[in-house]
Chain A
Amino acid sequence: GQQLNQSPQSMFIQEGEDVSMNCTSSSIFNTWLWYKQDPGEGPVLLIALYKAGELTSNGRLTAQFGITRKDSFLNISASIPSDVGIYFCAGHTGNQFYFGTGTSLTVIP
């Protein structure tokens, strides 16, 4: 099935830095979701976005549903070591969910 283009593929940052990652698609989505997956665990939902232009925060995380409905970004402010993991975006349209390729985040203390 369709996969979303997620970038960057990996990031190595210093603790305390801000992080930004994004997801783009050639198709329009009705919902954008952002997940974090820790090693050996299932993906955990971080933020769900349901309307174009919507900007939603969850603690140090902020995500936006692009106005064109074809993209979304996730920002993490003041990163900490436990932010390490793989971040996936997902889009929903019709009855289908499509997943990004993932962004691997490493935080250096």
Chain B
Amino acid sequence: SAVISQKPSRDICQRGTSLTIQCQVDSQVTMMFWYRQQPGQSLTLIATANQGSEATYESGFVIDKFPISRPNLTFSTLTVSNMSPEDSSIYLCSVARQGKETQYFGPGTRLLVL
């Protein structure tokens, strides 16, 4: 398993601003992912955070809106840029190790955009 922490745990932001969410893992992991979960919905993959290279984004998500960094094998950030109320959601970081196709999730960041 893996112990994953996210900061902040929640935030209320004004329209047009940006928020950077941090994800820290207690051990080195191969793969890190960022998900969005809207109230009452399932998980939607935003992107895979690649160490040392640009993130791989899913259809409907772009780097200008959701820039991602992954400077090492234990840390990643997701920025939600130029926020609007539609960005209000839970943002989840998750990790997986190659060879064991099991994914572990962080506690999430609850974002409300006014």
Chain A residues within 8 Å of B, Cβ to Cβ:
1, 3, 30-31, 33, 35, 40-45, 48, 50, 88, 90, 92, 97, 99-102
In chain B, residues 97-114, which have Cβ atoms closer than 8 Å to a Cβ of chain A?
101-108, 110
Chain B residues within 8 Å of A, Cβ to Cβ:
1, 4, 33, 41-43, 45, 58-59, 92, 96, 101-108, 110
The A interface is mostly helix, strand or loop, or mixed, namely: strand
Q: Are A43 and B42 in contact (CB under 8 A)?
A: no
User: Please, which residue of chain B has its CB at the minimum distance from the CB of A89?
Assistant: B42
Q: Are A42 and B92 in contact (CB under 8 A)?
A: yes
Q: Which of A30, A41, A48 contacts B107 (CB 8 A)?
A: A41
Give, as a whole number of angstroms, the nearest-CB distance from B104 to chain A. 6
Q: Are B104 and A45 in contact (CB under 8 A)?
A: yes
Cα distance, A97 to B105, chains bound together (Å):
13
Q: Are A101 and B42 in contact (CB under 8 A)?
A: yes
Q: Which residues of A contact B110 (CB under 8 A)?
A: 40
Decide: A100 near B42, CB < 8 A? Known: A42-B92, A43-B105, A48-B102. Answer: yes
Decide: A42 near B108, CB < 8 A? Known: A31-B102, A33-B103. Answer: yes
Q: Which of B1, B45, B92 contacts A1 (CB 8 A)?
A: B45
Q: Are B43 and A43 in contact (CB under 8 A)?
A: yes
